[in-house]
Amino acid sequence: AFNGTWKVDRSENYDKFMEQMGINVMKRKLAEHDNLKIIIEQTGDKFHIKESSTFRTKDIDFTLGVQFDYALADGTEVSGTWEMEGEMLKGKFTRKDNSKVLTTTRTLVGGELVQSYNYEGVDAKRIFKKQ
Ligand code: MYR
């Protein structure tokens, strides 16, 4: 059900979240308008994601419950896992530079893909529309 091409439509509190992540104001301004698009292909418990934005294009492969490495668009490296809990994808990733944890979820709400983020007490959301 997550399969498809998703384009970011709007964000909530994303600037504050990025600030908490330690991202400077110039990069935050650019990131607010990154035109993020993700193409999700799920086959059983395996996911292939094509991420594209004004910053980069990137292919990501992971299996539910299996730890993998990922670099955020600003270069911050994390390691963690996605798991399925009911209809919700739940991700838990640890930053390699400071060992702090970023949690994220993906869920479908009224035909939109809602991704939530939490880092050090700050919550944000990005909401994607299907293309
Ligand atoms: C994926 O499933 O798309 C790849 C793994 C995602 C890992 C966690 C993503 C957090 C992205 C946060 C971006 C915030 C920039 C400060």
Protein residues with CB under 6 Å of any ligand 1 atom:
18, 21, 23, 49, 51, 60, 70, 72, 91, 93, 102, 104, 117
Cα gap 11→29, rounded to integer Å: 13
Q: Provide the ipTM.
A: 0.93
Q: How far is the CA of 65 from the centre of ligand 1 (A)?
A: 16
Total domain count for the chain?
Answer: 1
Per residue in 26-65, pLDDT (tens digit) is 999 999 999 999 999 999 999 999 999 999 999 999 999 9
Of all helices (H) and strands (E), which one includes residue 68?
strand 68-71
At residue 39, the pLDDT reads 98
Q: How far is the CA of 78 from the centre of ligand 1 (A)?
A: 9
Per residue in 117-128, pLDDT (tens digit) is 999 999 999 999
pLDDT for residue 94 is more than 90: yes
At residue 1, the pLDDT reads 87
Contact in structure between 116 and 102 (CB atoms under 8 Å): no
Per residue in 101-115, pLDDT (tens digit) is 999 999 999 999 999
Q: Which two tokens stand for residue 107?
A: 């869920």
Q: Residue of the nearest CA to atom 5 in ligand 1?
A: 70
Q: Which atom of ligand 1 is nearest to the CA of 106?
A: 2
Which range of residues forms the domain containing residue 119?
4-130
pLDDT for residue 23 is more than 90: yes
Task: Supply the CATH number for residue 9's domain.
Answer: 2.40.128.20
- Mutating to test ligand 1, I would choose from 3, 49, 72 the residue with most ligand atoms within 8 A of its C-beta, which is 72
Percent of the chain with pLDDT over 90: 99
Q: Residue of the nearest CA to atom 6 in ligand 1?
A: 70
